Structure 1
Amino acid sequence: MSKVRKRGEQIRQFILENVEKYPSDVAALASQEFGVSRQAINKHIQHLVEQKALVATGSARKKHYQLHPQIKWMETYDLSKNLAEDIVWDADIRPLVKDLPDNVKDIWAYGFTEMLNNAIDHSSGQTVVVQLERTAIDTQIIIYDDGEGIFKKIQRELYLHDERHAVLELAKGKLTTDPERHTGQGIFFTSRMFDEFAILSGSVHFSHQFSEAEDWISGESDFKSGTAIFMKLNNNTSRTSKQVFDSFSSGDDYAFTKTVVPVRLAQYGNEKLVSRSQAKRLLAGVDKFKVVVFNFAGVDAIGQAFADEVFRVFKRQHPEMQLVCLNTNQEVEQMIRRAESTDP
């Protein structure tokens, strides 16, 4: 392959990989990255439009570009007719991703079947809609059921105060309302395999990005009924499902021994994390793990009683556990150190 052709492919790949983030500025970005004129970049963009890799919208001076869907597919399934996730995968989804690398197909097989099974076994809905869209760069799938809503169900069955508490319990990784048939690990591992993962249900929007591996985000949503799960993955990622499992496992038995807990989800509304009851809410169920990473992103301060309950009382009750803190500011760090150094 000539150097000119190779450079042209590099430029076009760069455009495809950055167009979603910079839909109107991707030409300027590529021009700066490769040190070539905007006119030269525009020729590459036009080539991608002609190949139906990109879609152009807007006027000549205000062009916007986006990835062109190579595949757009949707199907509605009846949840009352003995629906089986593996059958849907084999018959409908796998043919749409059959040419992707094996590691990518493995991730899709795990994530899709786990999430569809949740809808089948837990939603109490009538139908589930599956949508798939594939571009030259990535594939995304949305699974939407018309049931009770995942966070509302967890809140109801575990007698929790609100849906945000349900998100906190789900984020820890071993929550299930049906322990006879489920381990509660499916959502945890699925969320960490994909580039982007989100659940919209009720008043809660719950998302995770692989590029921010230790960061869970929860915000307000107006998704009034059912549950929608969104998964997105680069078509050529080098990631494997085994790598993700291994990063939260230890020992020869590959037991699920590590979790990441988003501390700010222990808050209700605008309250501050100051009390022992809030700390106990945070700590519920984490004794199932050997390593617990407390992610303090979005937490500006914690109170003495909260810190003492987590980092003195709980820590001394469970000396075999490793507690790790992440994204702490100076004020939070000082309160943690104070609790750890306090004599009983």
Structure 2
Amino acid sequence: MVNNAIDHSGGESVLVWTTQDESTLRIIIADDGVGIFAKIFHALGLPDMRQALFELAKGKLTTDPSKHTGEGVFFTSRMFDSFEISANGLQFNHDASLPNDWLQEESGVFPDGTAVFMRISLDSIRTTAEIYSQFTDAPEDYDFSRTVVPMKLARFGDEELVSRSQAKRVIARFDRFRTVILDFSEVREIGQAFADELFRVYAGSHREVELLPKNMTEQVERMWLRAVSPRAT
């Protein structure tokens, strides 16, 4: 996280703060740069800054591939009990006790730059090997080949996932993985065009990428089955 601040923030200073009591270690790393979500927004030419959080949740995202693999934030967030990035009026949160990442629009404690808040229990039994094994084929292969995509983060505001353009937004960079688990928790329904673009059009042209939906409502499952079922001739 410190290296990210040094290499990407464009700021002049980095604050590193730690505290520990009898049960918990807490770490804050903050810089005075441009803010991680603004950096991603401009580097990838995204239509909405909130999409930067969705791309971050997928993993393998970096604005400087010559220096970084884009795996640091993803894996670090899963090493801790709770992990939060605050920047540009947005917050990205990962909590080990909850099923999904989430985002919210809220001003952070620091007025500029990026702040990362990390917390872990001192009696945590979580290991790095355990974390890597969830997203790689370790121990045979430690390549970051599997990711979990929280589909609720693909929605902006009150919108539902109904269009082909939304599906194309979702599938960006899927080809960097062999397996993509699509977690539909808190997504009540999807549209026919969205499902068709994702599960038929994209899946049909990218057979090297396995798409695995989970936590589907009955409506989402119907749209999925409709998209993957062979068409009658």
TM-score normalised by structure 1 residue count:
0.64
Partner of 2:32: 146
Letter matched to residue 268 of structure 1: F
Rounded to whole Å, the distance in 1 between the matches of 2:91 and 2:13 is 21
Q: Which residue of the other structure, out of 67, 83, 87, is the alignment partner of 1:201?
A: 87
Query: How far off its partner does 1:323 sit?
Result: 1.4
Aligned Cα root-mean-square deviation (Å):
1.5
Letter matched to residue 72 of structure 2: G
Q: Which residue of the other structure, out of 110, 123, 130, is the alignment partner of 1:236?
A: 123
Letter matched to residue 146 of structure 2: K
Query: How far off its partner does 1:147 sit?
Result: 0.7
Partner of 1:315: 203
Query: How far off its partner does 1:342 sit?
Result: 4.8
Rounded to whole Å, the distance in 2 between the matches of 1:169 and 1:143 is 21
Q: Which residue of the other structure, out of 213, 220, 239, is the alignment partner of 2:105?
A: 220
- Partner SS for 2:224: helix
Query: How far off its partner does 1:305 sit?
Result: 0.3
Partner of 1:160: 46
User: For 1:39-96, what per-residue CA distance to the aligned partner results, in whole angstroms no more than 9, with x for missing partners?
Assistant: xxxxxxxxxxxxxxxxxxxxxxxxxxxxxxxxxxxxxxxxxxxxxxxxxxxxxxxxxx
Partner of 2:149: 261
Assess, with a 3 A threshold, how the Cα gap between structure 1 residues 342 and 303 changes in structure 2: closer, same or farther. Answer: farther
Aligned sequence identity (%):
48
- Partner SS for 2:27: strand
Query: How far off its partner does 1:267 sit?
Result: 2.1
Partner of 1:76: none
- Partner SS for 1:142: strand
User: For 1:262-295, what per-residue CA distance to the aligned partner results, in whole angstroms no more than 9, with x for missing partners?
Assistant: 2122222222211111101100001111110111
Rounded to whole Å, the distance in 2 between the matches of 1:159 and 1:267 is 18
Query: How far off its partner does 1:170 sit?
Result: 1.2
Greater helix share, structure number: 1
Matches within 5 A, 1:19-168: 115-168=1-54
Partner of 1:246: 133
- Partner SS for 2:112: strand
Q: Which residue of the other structure, out of 278, 281, 289, is the alignment partner of 2:169?
A: 281
Partner of 1:67: none
Rounded to whole Å, the distance in 2 between the matches of 1:239 and 1:248 is 15
User: For 1:201-232, what per-residue CA distance to the aligned partner results, in whole angstroms no more than 9, with x for missing partners?
Assistant: 112111011123x5110111113521110111
Q: Residues 312 and 342 of structure 1 are in contact (CA less than 8 Å); yes or no, is this contact kept in structure 2?
A: no
- Partner SS for 1:273: coil
Query: How far off its partner does 1:137 sit?
Result: 1.0
Letter matched to residue 266 of structure 1: A
Query: How far off its partner does 1:297 sit?
Result: 2.0
Greater alpha carbon shift after TM alignment, 313-322 vs 330-339: 313-322
Unaligned runs of 5+ in 1: 1-114
Letter matched to residue 199 of structure 1: I
TM-score normalised by structure 2 residue count:
0.93
Rounded to whole Å, the distance in 2 between the matches of 1:294 and 1:237 is 28
Query: How far off its partner does 1:301 sit?
Result: 1.2
Partner of 2:192: 304
User: For 1:90-140, what per-residue CA distance to the aligned partner results, in whole angstroms no more than 9, with x for missing partners?
Assistant: xxxxxxxxxxxxxxxxxxxxxxxxx11111111111111111111111101
Q: Which residue of the other structure, out of 213, 225, 228, is the alignment partner of 1:325?
A: 213
Residue 174 (structure 1) aligned with residue 52 (structure 2): no
Rounded to whole Å, the distance in 2 between the matches of 1:253 and 1:206 is 29
Q: Residues 84 and 117 of structure 2 are in contact (CA less than 8 Å); yes or no, is this contact kept in structure 1?
A: yes
Compare CA radii of gyration and give the structure with the larger one: 1
Unaligned runs of 5+ in 2: none
Rounded to whole Å, the distance in 2 between the matches of 1:227 and 1:154 is 12
User: For 1:161-184, what per-residue CA distance to the aligned partner results, in whole angstroms no more than 9, with x for missing partners?
Assistant: 122111111111111110111100
User: For 1:222-263, what per-residue CA distance to the aligned partner results, in whole angstroms no more than 9, with x for missing partners?
Assistant: 135211101111112111112111221116231111001121
Q: Residues 24 and 121 of structure 2 are in contact (CA less than 8 Å); yes or no, is this contact kept in structure 1?
A: yes
Which structure carries more relative contact order (alpha carbon 8 Å, separation 6+)?
A: 2
